[in-house]
A and B are shown apart, each in its own frame.
Chain A
Amino acid sequence: MSADAGGGEWGYVGSREGGQPTYSWQEPAEKPRVAPAPEPANMPADADGNGGGGGVGYGSTPTPPVATSPSTMRCLRRRRCTVVTVGVLGALIALVLLAFLAFGKDADPDDNLLLVSVIFRHGDRTPSDIYPTDPHQEDAWPEGLGALTNEGKAQMFALGERLRRRYGRFVGAQYKPQTLRVDSSAADRCLMSAGALLAGLMPPEGEQRWHPDLAWQPIPVHYVARERDTKLAAKKPCPRYDEELQKAYASPEIQALNEENKDLYQYLTTHAGKPISDITAVEFLYNTLLIEKIHKLDLPEWTNSVFPDKMKQLAAKSLAIFTHNDFMKRIRGGPLLKEVVDHMSKKAEDTVKNEGRMHLFSAHDLTIVNVWRTLGFTELLHVGYGASLIFELRWIEQGVNAEVKVLYLNSSSAEPINLKIPGCSQPCVIGAFVNLIQHNLPTDTDWNKECGLPS
């Protein structure tokens, strides 16, 4: 994972409120260090909001007021008239420049931003399944199984607030259906996560405040049924994919891993009371134990020797096996990535017709890993709640050339990491990116055909 930034990424804040070009809705107190504060309080940081020094030059503006004033002082002693003129002129220039710095820079960090797509994992949830010997059975979870918890709602709300701080001004303080689109997986926890995130991202402002006591407004969240969904739940049945998945489980690499962990599987099978014979079974058990730990439930003694260390990597490996080879990437990661890429291409071609500014996708850990691996990343991910894969489309040269930036947050509170897209030089120009990734992006017809379904 090639990280070239972090600190400065989320520092940029701005507001339209009251028409003041100040940086008023500042970072929350708990994250004071994120803004790489320049000396004059109202002067925005140069590299701010710009991929931590990705090279697009905001820093090139000279600061003549400082340079001109000493020379004006020298002139003052020689010829008074000239000096007064020059002085007045100089002061004027200085004023204009200062005004430019103070006011003109205001919009800069968003100026080159064209489109943002965010694929995020839902928030904290209850376990999806419980193992037979689990001391914490279903009744330990009043919300039911696989449900978003209050904690999860708060995480998503906070993630929404963070996105607002970073992109709020770009997306606009007011919700507009043509600029913001939200898609979700069919799962309740994803639909609810999208709702909670939107509450943080788009509290009603000004005219949109429709209720005096409620800082919330309804925003539509779209989804398609699970059995038709190739993008977010990515559960549309694909017979050929299932065959490939079986082959992947039987591959020498995974077989070797199974052999290596034979004793662990045996141990887990004995204690969990159900057969644990592959990495995905380990992952499910790991998830349940992890959730119970997060919710401060006591784990049984037997877990001490295996959880989390011995299970953690296997669980991550299990998430990766669903995109084991190129075909599998194409089927399970391709459709969503295609939607993201298509939007970017269209936007770069015609910014007038394509009014979209932000596209949110509420999904699962597996969705993120699928897209991650389809992009060409190979590191194993431990996807936290609210983990987000962010695609930014930015002008390199206004109206001419745009680049793709990919950022990753490992959880709703983690710092974003600026990623280097494998195989793409920096800046990663949209055209080059499309060429690079095209072979992994099937159309709906292709998808059906390759799955062995009628198209």
Chain B
Amino acid sequence: MTFLLPALLLKILFIYSILIDGASCENESGTLVLVNVVYRHGDRTPVSPYPTDPYRNVSFWPVGWGQLTNRGKEQHFELGKWLRERYDHFLPEEYSRDDIYIRSTDVDRTLMSAESNLAGLYPPTGSQRWNPTLSWQPIPIHTTPEIDDMILAGKKLCPRYNKALEAVMNSVEMKELNRKNKQLYEYLSKHSGAEIHDLVSLEYLYDTLHVEDLYNLTLPEWTQSVFPEKMAGLAAYSFTFQAFTPLLQRLKSGPLLKELISNMEKAIYEGSGIGKKMYMYSAHDSTVANLLMTLGVFDAHSPPYTAMILMELWKNADEEYNVVISYRNSSADPSVLTLTGCRKVCPYEKFIALTKTRVPGNWEEECSVEVVYEFRLNSLSIIALALSGLLAVLLTSSILFSILYWRKKKSASYYYHHVHTEEQ
């Protein structure tokens, strides 16, 4: 045992070094097969100002509300370059539709973020240089109108989800939370002119103040006592709501998780080196937060601009597939996340088993079904239920038996006695 420990440590270190050193996507212990990339757009203007906002005039934001700024373009251009560096030996320098698929929500800032990212990832080289003075090439970005998009935007109507979310928002815990923050809500409502009645509306206000602060605009006096400290934590916590319960996760983030898994499935089925190598999804802070929630690895926070989840599929020398999930929410190296019940390098089958309950079958059907069968979603509760059911049956039957036995014994003795009397 004592000599096993250093060996184990060495092995962990070795695996870790592979993960850190992104450039070596191939070595004796494994080959990178596929990467799913999910990220948030870059720096943007506020989505909407609050009524008393001194910067509510759109002239402060020349690009308009909720639009990607130059900073945002740069950030994603840099992220694209970072991806190029990390996956340079994996993803060919020349763009090919056979290597990569890019999908974005149908919102200007995410479409533009994806474009900027690709400008950094795929500057034209060699024969792809089509314009002598322009180091850029067009690359298709796929999208679908938000009202049809359950996969990435998560905006397609799902009545069952809405109902379940409402239940969460009206739960005892949430009411308690709102009660605790009542004074803060009142203070914010009074000064901002907006109706702040829960953490979601608080987060909207926080985001606007946060963006204005980023742009070095002087915030009004009244904000000093509440921004950022008092609001930041609550805003961060609000990012857990959309995927608060297993059911919400399954209906909100499940379709995306299902697609990410199906991308990996395809790669495994087709064998490495044949299918696409990278799938890229350009979306929002809530998309990132919800997916992390769904994977059970979310530390409540507001995902910053360009926050990115990398879901890598590796194949080792024994032809076994592993999933490694990492999260990059700063310019530092991404940190590897560990799924509860798995290791950092999580065997594919194990990963599938662990996330199974979060992957919807027929999403449309599940959205319309009103019957609540949440219990089916949690195997532990099924076991618990079955076990306690069994125990209950055992208990009742044992009681029944003992009563019967007692009675029989009693009547038997009486009978015996009776016979005995008859003989008398």
A residues touching B (Cβ–Cβ < 8 Å)?
142, 144, 147-148, 150, 153-154, 157, 176-178, 186, 188, 191-196, 199, 207-208, 210-211, 213-225, 228
Given A192-B139, A211-B73, also A220-B127 (CB < 8 A): no
| B141 & A217 in contact (Cβ 8 Å cutoff) | no
12 of the cross-chain contacts (CB-CB < 8 Å) are: A144-B97, A147-B97, A176-B64, A177-B64, A208-B70, A211-B73, A215-B133, A218-B114, A220-B111, A221-B141, A223-B142, A225-B144
Q: Contact: B134 with A199, CB < 8 Å? A: yes
Which residue of B has the minimal Cβ distance to A191? B140
Q: In the complex the two chains form, is A220's CB within 8 Å of B140's CB?
A: no
- Nearest CB of B to A219, in Å: 7
A207 near B140: Cβ-Cβ < 8 Å:
no
Bound state CA distance, A144 and B97, in angstroms? Answer: 9
CA distance A218 to B136 in the complex (A): 11
Which of B133, B137, B144 contacts A153, CB < 8 Å?
A: B137
Report the Cα distance A177→B68, complex, angstroms: 11
**Cβ of A150 and Cβ of B128 under 8 Å apart?**
yes
With the chains together, A34 CA to B351 CA distance in Å? 65
Q: Which residues of A contact B139 (CB under 8 A)?
A: 192, 195
Query: What's the minimum C-beta distance from B66 to chain A, rounded to whole angstroms?
Result: 10
Residue contact B136 to A216, C-beta cutoff 8 Å: yes
B143, CB-defined interface residue at 8 Å? yes
| CB closest chain-B residue, reference A225 | B144
- Give complex CA distance A222, B139 in Å: 14
Assess the B140–A218 pair: CB atoms within 8 A.
Answer: no
| Contact present for A177 and B62 (CB under 8 Å) | no
Name the A residues within 8 Å of B98 (CB-CB): 144
| Partner of A218 from B64, B68, B130, B131 at Cβ < 8 Å | B68
Whether the Cβ atoms of A223 and B77 lie closer than 8 Å is no
Q: Known pairs A216-B134, A224-B144. 7 more at Cβ < 8 A?
A: A144-B96, A177-B63, A191-B138, A191-B141, A199-B136, A218-B73, A218-B114
A229 to B142, CA, bound (A): 14
For the complex, what is the distance from the CA of A192 to the CA of B112, rounded to whole Å? 14
Partner of A220, one of B62, B112, B128: B112
Chain B window 67-106, contacts with chain A (Cβ cutoff 8 Å), 1 for yes, 0 for no: 1101001100100000000000000000011100000001
| B142: chain A residues within 8 A (beta carbon) | 186, 191, 223
Bound together, the chains give a CA A141 to CA B14 distance in angstroms of 43
On chain A, the residues within 8 Å of B112 by CB distance are 218-220
A160 → chain B, closest Cβ, in Å?
A: 11
Contact for B138 among A196, A211, A223, A225, CB less than 8 A: A196
**Which 3 A-B pairs rank lowest in CB-CB distance, beginning with the nearest?**
A195-B138, A218-B115, A191-B140
Determine if A211 and B74 form an interchain contact, defined as CB atoms under 8 angstroms apart: yes
Indicate the size class of the contact surface on chain B.
35 or more
Q: A154-B131, A157-B131, A210-B74 are in contact. Are A192 and B140 (CB under 8 A)?
A: yes
The 8 Å CB contact of B73, one of A178, A186, A210, A223, is A210
Cβ distance B138 to chain A, nearest Cβ, rounded Å: 3
Q: Which residues of A contact B114 (CB under 8 A)?
A: 218
A150 and B64 form a contact (CB under 8 A): no
How far apart are the CA atoms of A150 and B131 in the complex, in Å?
8
| Residues of chain A with a CB closer than 8 A to B67's CB | 177
Given A177-B67, A195-B115, answer yes or no on A207-B130 (Cβ-Cβ < 8 Å).
Answer: no
Known: A177-B64, A195-B115, A218-B116. A150 touches B127 (CB 8 A): yes
- A150-B127, A210-B74, A225-B144 are contacts. A192–B111 as well, Cβ < 8 Å? no
Q: How far apart are the CA atoms of A190 and B130 in the complex, in Å?
A: 17
* Cβ contacts under 8 Å, B228 to chain A: none
A199's partner among B62, B116, B127, B138 (CB-CB below 8 A) is B138
Contact A178 to B64, CB < 8 A, known contacts A215-B133, A220-B112, A228-B148 = yes
The interface residues of chain B lying within 8 Å CB-to-CB of A199 are: 131, 134, 136, 138
Q: How far is the CA of A176 from the CA of B145 in the complex (A)?
A: 20
Contact of B77 among A194, A211, A219 (CB under 8 A): A211
* Minimum Cβ distance to chain B for residue A208 (Å): 7
- When the two chains form their complex, are residues B119 and A218 in contact, meaning their CB atoms are under 8 A apart? yes
B111 near A221 (CB under 8 angstroms)?
A: yes
The reply on B135 being an interface residue by CB < 8 A is: yes
Q: How far is the CB of A209 from chain B (nearest CB, A)?
A: 8
Complex interface: chain B residues within 8 A of A218 (CB): 68, 73, 111-116, 119
Q: Are B128 and A210 in contact (CB under 8 A)?
A: no
B108 at the A interface (CB under 8 A) = yes
Residue of A nearest to B69 (CB): A210
A188: B residues at CB distance < 8 A: 97, 140
**Closest A residue, CB atoms, query B67:** A177
Given A150-B130, A210-B73, verify A223-B108 contact (CB < 8 Å).
no
Determine the distance from Cα of A222 to Cα of B149 in the docked complex, in whole angstroms: 13
Knowing A150-B130, A177-B64, A195-B115, say if A222 contacts B138 (CB, 8 Å).
no
Query: Which chain B residue has the least Cβ–Cβ distance from A188?
Result: B140
Bound: A208/B62 CA distance, A: 10
Given contacts A147-B97, A195-B139, contact A222 B73 (CB under 8 A): no
Task: Name the A residues within 8 Å of B140 (CB-CB).
Answer: 188, 191-192, 195
- Which residue of chain A lies nearest to B106 when distances are taken between CB atoms in the complex? A222
Residue of B nearest to A194 (CB): B138
Which residue of chain B lies nearest to A186 when distances are taken between CB atoms in the complex? B142
- Whether A214 pairs with B135 at a CB distance below 8 angstroms is yes
Q: Which of A215, A217, A220, A221 is most buried by chain B, counting CB atoms within 10 A of its CB?
A: A220
* B108-A177 in contact (CB<8A): yes
Most buried by A among B62, B70, B138, B143: B138
Least CB separation from B114: chain A residue: A218
Judge whether A223 and B119 touch: CB under 8 Å.
no
Known pairs A207-B62, A222-B106; A214 contacts B136 (CB<8 A) = yes
Q: Provide the residues of chain B in CB contact with A195, threshold 8 Å.
A: 115, 138-140
Among B53-70, those with CB < 8 Å from A are 62-64, 67-68, 70
Give the complex CA separation of A208 and B139 in angstroms: 21
Q: Which residues of B contact A214 (CB under 8 A)?
A: 119, 134-136
Shortest CB–CB separation between residue A293 and chain B, in angstroms? 21
Complex alpha-carbon distance, A216 and B145, angstroms: 26
Give the chain A neighbours of B119 by CB distance below 8 A.
Answer: 214, 216, 218
CB distance from B8 to the nearest CB of A (A): 47
Residues of A with C-beta under 8 A to B145: 222, 224
Shortest Cβ distance from B135 into A: residue: A214
Contact B116 A215 (CB under 8 A): no
Shortest CB distance B148–A (Å): 7
Instruction: State the CA gap A154–B97 with chains docked (Å).
Output: 19
The residue on B at minimum CB distance from A189 is B140
**Who on chain A is nearest to B115 by CB?**
A218
Chain A residues contacting B115 (CB-CB under 8 Å) are 195, 218-220
> Contact: A153 with B138, CB < 8 Å?
yes
Rounded to whole Å, the gap between the CB of B345 and the closest CB of chain A is 35
B143 close to A223 (CB less than 8 A): yes
Contacts of B129 in A (CB 8 A): 150
For residue A122, give the distance in angstroms from its CB to the closest CB of chain B. Answer: 11
Cα-based distance from A417 to B292 in the complex (angstroms): 56
CA A148 – CA B115 in complex, angstroms? 17
Complex: how many Å from CA A213 to CA B140? Answer: 23
Most chain A beta carbons < 10 A, residue from B115, B127, B139, B148: B115
